[in-house]
Amino acid sequence: MTTLVACSHGTDSPAGRRTVEDIVDLVRARIPGTRVVQAFVDVQEPAVPEVVEQEHLDDDVVVVPLLLSVGFHTAVDIARAVRPYDGVRQGEPLGTHPLIAEVLRARLRTAVHDRWLPGDHVVLAAAGSSNPAAVADVTTAAAHLADLIPVPVTIGYASAIEPRIADAVSFARERGASRVIAASHVLAPGYFAGLVERSGADLVSAPLGADPRIAEVIVERFRSA
C-alpha cells in the first residue's frame, strides 16, 4: 500500500480548515483501504516534512499538493520534504485538470443565478506566483474555463505578479464589460478568498470547496504519481 499525504497550504480560517478536512474525507471515501493523512506547508501543523518523515517508515508515500498551481510551496517546501526518501513521490498540483474548470463553471453559474448577460466578463482570480510554470498553469486553467462558459475570461492575481485582481476587473470594465464576475480560483475560504471578495468585481463566485470532482482530481494525481 501507499500512503497519500494531502498537503494543503494551511489557513487561520475555521471555514477554510473545515473545507479542506471535508475534501480529504471525500478522498478517503474514494480509496478505502488507503491511508490518507493531512500535512501543511504554512500556518497549520503538522508540517509536511514531519509527516513524510513519519509515514515513510511504514509505507511508500505520495504527497499530493492540495494547491492549484506549481510554485514555491511545490518546488521548494514539498520537494524538500520528498527528496531524502526513495519511497516517497510528489504528485502534480490540481489546477490544470479539466474537472477543476467544471467546478469553476458550477460556482460561476451559482453566482450569476444561472443566467449570463450580454456584457458579462469573468476574471479568473488566482493566488499568484512569480514562477513561470505557475503562470502557465493558471493560463491553462483559464483556457479550460473559457471553453465552458459563453463569456470572455481573463486572469488576475492576488500577489506576486501582474495584473492584480482589482486591476483585471478595472481593465475588463474599460474594455466594455457591463458586469464583471470574479471566479475564485482557490480551494477554500481564507486569506486569498478574502482578497478576491474585495477585488471590486460585481459578483464573486464561491471557492471551489468540498466538491466530489476535486476529490476525483486528487485521487487521479495520487495514482499517476
Domains of the chain: total: 2
Same domain, 29 and 88: yes
CA atoms within 13 A of residue 184's CA, in its CB half-sphere: 26
Q: What's the CATH number where 146 sits?
A: 3.40.50.1400
Same domain, 116 and 186: yes
Same domain, 102 and 41: no
Give dist(CA 154, CA 146) in Å, integer.
Answer: 9
Full residue range of the structural domain in which residue 79 is found: 2-94+210-224
pLDDT in tens, 154-207: 999 998 899 999 999 999 999 999 999 999 999 999 988 999 999 999 999 999
Q: pLDDT band at 128, cuts 50/70/90?
A: confident
Same domain, 87 and 107: no
Same domain, 159 and 89: no
Same domain, 30 and 84: yes
What pLDDT shows up at residue 26? 98
CA 47 distance to own-chain centroid: 19
Same domain, 71 and 103: no
